[in-house]
Structure 1
Amino acid sequence: MLFFSRSKDSVFYQTLVEAASNIVEATQLFRQNVETLEHKEEYAEKLKELENKGDEYTHILLHELNQTFITPMDREDILQLAVKLDDVLDGVEACASRIVYCHVEKTTPYLMQFAEILERSAEFLQESFIALEKRDFTSIRKHSVEINLLENQADRLMRESVGSLFEEPKDPIELIKMKELYEKLEGVSDTTEDLANVLESVVMKYA
């Protein structure tokens, strides 16, 4: 099977790149948000708009799958990529919403570190999908390694951040909401790694 060789294929890879770029924008906004949390409601609204935009990209991919007889990759691979892209974006938006409805008023160094990890991971994802268009499979593998390393950092950060909550007496409500937020952020990093793993499986299949 030819890989991204027909003119019709451009709809698929362009949409994947745009969906990944949308995630980069979302993680940038999230990082800006947690710098101070002074305008968390406004950021949550902006992230909700990006989530809706991400849903549109998913709809385009699913529509094209239904309308296209011969696809550039296996349908299951395209579907997995679409679903995982949507999951990553949903996770970022959910964290921003949680900050609002849980009334998280003060940022922490841990929130900033999580935000930076997610932003860097999103940038590697974007580069991976650009490389996919160019059939640059070596770059995709390199980006996947970087994303895996960032996920390991997020895992360690989650243990450290949650552990810090129990080091001295705190308001139990504050402890619960921050613990859930840190765990949710680590979960987004897990999903990003899952997406990178799907990309790697595609490379193994078509390289």
Structure 2
Amino acid sequence: MGFSLFPRSAKFYDLFKEQHRKLVKAAGILDELFTTFDDVEERCKRINIIESEGNAISRRIAKELSLTFITPIDREDIHQINLTQEDILNLIKAIASRIGLFGFDRIRYPARRIIANMRVMIEELGVVLGRMSQSKQAEESFHKIENLKHECETLLMVGIGELYDGGEVNADYAVILDIVKWKHIFDRIEAAVDRTESLADVLEGVVLKNA
């Protein structure tokens, strides 16, 4: 029988997967929102509910960690996986909330592409968690996540560049306000992508330490 990084007795693997399912669900709804840009209020409400459910799972993981004397992997790694998944979910909520609040009439193409890429990155992290539970390597997933992160960086530069390119010197208040609003959106999208990459780094470190 192969060695498992997450023995059943500790339940960390099951809790991480449950937490990750909430993350995948929220990322999927955000991607749909950015793609179709309809039912904005309803989709934001659904993400808020999922984020609340995810926070409850995060507290369960923290409690389990406090009650477990001998952990299957380093305690700091368990803490980081938990914290980072929670951070990503919170950032998804922040992005959706601002889309709902700012009253945009369209979604900018670079932002739509970045969110779609982030959704795939998050899904690939689920593949990594699954392979970790079977003591298998996940180089292909890590490589795919890295490539998507690089693409997101390029799209982010394009998106921010478009905010300022071609702007008139005496732009009216509405144009300036739109730029400011989208800069807030792009800042949070960048933070969410960065945290997703951070989760990949944590999981890769766990795999290497327990190889």
TM-score range, shorter chain: over 0.9
- For residue 103 of structure 1, report the CA deviation from its aligned partner: 1.7
Q: Which residue identity does 1:13 align to in structure 2?
A: Y
- Return structure 1 stretches of 4+ with deviation > 3 angstroms: 2-7
CA distance in 1, matches of 2:62, 2:190: 28
Deviates more, 1:100-109 or 1:159-168: 100-109
Structure 1 counterpart of 2:25: 25
CA distance in 1, matches of 2:165, 2:150: 23
- For residue 149 of structure 1, report the CA deviation from its aligned partner: 1.3
What CA RMSD, in Å, does the superposition of the two structures yield over aligned residues?
A: 1.5
CA distance in 1, matches of 2:201, 2:8: 27
CA contact (8 A) 1:121 1:147 kept: yes
Structure 2 counterpart of 1:147: 145
- For residue 130 of structure 1, report the CA deviation from its aligned partner: 1.0
Structure 2 counterpart of 1:86: 86
CA contact (8 A) 1:158 1:183 kept: no
Q: Deviations over 1:86-136 (max 9, x none)?
A: 011111111000111222231222232012111101110111111111111
CA contact (8 A) 2:44 2:97 kept: yes
CA contact (8 A) 1:20 1:129 kept: no
Q: Which residue identity does 1:7 align to in structure 2?
A: R
Percentage identity across paired residues of the two chains = 26
Structure 2: 5+ residue runs without aligned partners?
none
CA distance in 1, matches of 2:33, 2:6: 41
CA contact (8 A) 1:48 1:93 kept: yes
CA distance in 2, matches of 1:182, 1:36: 19
Q: Deviations over 1:45-102 (max 9, x none)?
A: 1001111111111111111111112111111110010000101111111100011122
Alignment of 1:120-131 (within 5 A): 120-131=120-131
CA contact (8 A) 2:6 2:12 kept: no
Structure 2 counterpart of 1:161: 159
CA distance in 1, matches of 2:191, 2:5: 32
Structure 1: 5+ residue runs without aligned partners?
none
CA distance in 1, matches of 2:7, 2:189: 39
- For residue 5 of structure 1, report the CA deviation from its aligned partner: 6.4
Q: Which residue identity does 1:62 align to in structure 2?
A: A
Count how many residue pairs are aligned between Structure 1 and Structure 2.
203
1:7 correspondence with 2:3: no
1:193 correspondence with 2:197: yes
Structure 1 counterpart of 2:178: 174
CA distance in 1, matches of 2:24, 2:56: 16
CA contact (8 A) 2:125 2:200 kept: yes
| Helix, strand or coil at the partner of 1:105 | coil
TM-score with structure 2 setting the length:
0.91
Q: Deviations over 1:132-185 (max 9, x none)?
A: 11111x22x321221111111111111001101112226000011112212221
- For residue 7 of structure 1, report the CA deviation from its aligned partner: 3.2
